[in-house]
Amino acid sequence: MADPVSNYSASDVLIEATSRRLWDEDESELRILDICKETNLSTSVIYGHFGSRQGLINASLLHIFGLVTDEIIENLETSAARSLSTGSMLNALFGLLNDADFQERLNRQRQMFFRVSATALSRPSIRPGFLELYEHYVKRADAVYQELLDGGHLSSELSARQWSLFFEGQMLSRAFHGLSANWYNQDDWLRSAYQMYAAANPEIIS
């Protein structure tokens, strides 16, 4: 009988275990022996699949980035669907952002999004995989904003890509929420986001 841990599944097990740790700790704290103990796989399996400790970390960071971008887009798609069904982009979007549990999860996603992005800037070895995932993310985001444009929920003065940049810029500051007691609070952020959206959509708001 074949070993139930095939070459492919061994990689998956290692990446999953490493990814869970990287959500909560810096990669400098990650120990290969801890991963071996958790997965019941030897160091030779790790090095055989990934070449090095860094190779395993790189693969895990890309795995995290794929999961995070998928979930961000799925949340955006949910918000867009609500907008199209209720006729109110503001109610759908800002109602979602007022949900404390959702906001906490979203902030965590964004922090990981920018953490992996920053790593790709300084680590050329993961850049090709990162760019492939990012291009997929951008295309899905553009499709959602185009759907909202077509449905009359966004001003046609901006393209789908420009609307995507508008909201991405809004979310950037939220990724660093919690790093300082003096960082922008939720109420200030929502108020500014609402006003910028309203300024760009006067005919829709009125």
The last residue of one of the domains, among 33, 51, 69, is 51
Range of the domain at 176: 61-205
pLDDT per residue over 4-39, tens digit each? 444 458 999 999 999 999 998 899 999 999 999 999
47 and 66 inside one domain: no
Q: What is the CATH number of the domain that holds 198?
A: 1.10.357
Nearest alpha-carbon partner for 46 in 28, 62, 27, 33: 33
149 in a structural domain = yes
| DSSP tag of 158 | S
Q: Are 67 and 108 in contact (CB under 8 A)?
A: no
pLDDT of residue 6: 46
45 and 67 inside one domain: no
At 201, give phi and psi (nearest 5°): -135, 50
| E strand map for the chain | none
Q: Could you give the number of structural domains in the chain?
A: 2
108 and 173 inside one domain: yes
| DSSP tag of 149 | H
pLDDT per residue over 139-163, tens digit each? 999 998 898 888 887 788 889 998 8
Please provide the DSSP assignment of 130-142 as one string: HHHHHHHHHHHHH
113 and 18 inside one domain: no
34 and 96 inside one domain: no
**Cα 79 from Cα 21, distance rounded (Å):** 30
104 and 188 inside one domain: yes
pLDDT of residue 168: 80
Say whether 199 sits in a helix, a strand or coil.
helix
Residue 109: pLDDT band (50, 70, 90) is: confident
74 and 159 inside one domain: yes
What's the mean pLDDT in 85-97?
61
35 and 117 inside one domain: no
Residue type at position 25: E
Mean per-residue pLDDT over the chain, rounded: 82
**Cα 149 from Cα 102, distance rounded (Å):** 25
- Looking at the whole model, is its pTM more than 0.85? no
What is the percentage of the chain residues whose pLDDT exceeds 90? 46
For 139, the token pair is: 């295309």
56 in a structural domain = no
pLDDT of residue 35: 96
pLDDT of residue 65: 96
77 and 148 inside one domain: yes
